[in-house]
Homo-oligomer: A and B are copies of this chain.
């Protein structure tokens, strides 16, 4: 039980009253797993990830990483945000090093570490580029390298490929699988893209909306992980099961939108 979410509840006080966003969420993720949580827009996915990251405090319940309760943000959990969060005035190398710099790692060591992870994400050639000179996919790869550089226990990702076009997305999927196999890191990723989730993960949590709850936990067993698998019937079955699940809740959610 490497990452554990126990009876997590989160509500916000708004002008119109109390908004229950997350209700009784329970999750258990083992070391080395690649887990996705899928849910419609507004189902509280980002909110859930923020509690795990320690950027917000749950109303009740707890989050444990490697047995220790989460009380605040910290580099033991690497985070890749939904929107690009590279520091625009730093070049790729500086961005990748930044976490290590904050943690007091000496210049030489952090330079080596950053270079290593830039090699891992395949951006060594762009070490001196500014974020604005990168495409969306490259930006997220730098964000991943930056998170990995601190050698976190778990990598948290919030719809990291939502803003990418379909081709870039595909190559990022291959990249992620490759990275995961090479580094053997624990990954918890959030997405609304069902195919993405099926293609990447060992297990999927399907979230229901308003309030966000775990509707179903689906273990994924695919014959292989190349993009040919997407034509496989088993892939389609997973996809359709999830789609149906979400379509229903998604429509509820849309109807509830003002």
Contacts and interface: CB of A to CB of B under 8 A. Distances in A.
A50 to B, nearest CB: 19
Contacts of A247: 167, 170
Given A133-B258, A236-B231, A41 B250 contact: no
- Identical chains bound together, number: 2
B168 A254 contact: yes
11 contacts: A40-B167, A41-B167, A41-B168, A133-B258, A135-B257, A137-B254, A165-B192, A167-B247, A167-B250, A170-B247, A231-B236
Given A40-B167, A166-B194, 8 more contacts: A41-B168, A135-B254, A138-B257, A166-B192, A167-B246, A167-B247, A168-B250, A168-B254
Interface string A129-143: 100010101100000
A168 B41 CA distance: 9
A86 to B, nearest CB: 16
For the complex of A and B, the 7 pairs showing the least CB-CB separation, nearest first, are A167-B250, A165-B192, A41-B165, A135-B257, A166-B193, A133-B258, A40-B167
Interface residues of A, number: 25
A165 B246 CA distance: 12
A137 B254 CA distance: 10
Interface in A137-166: 137-138, 162, 165-166
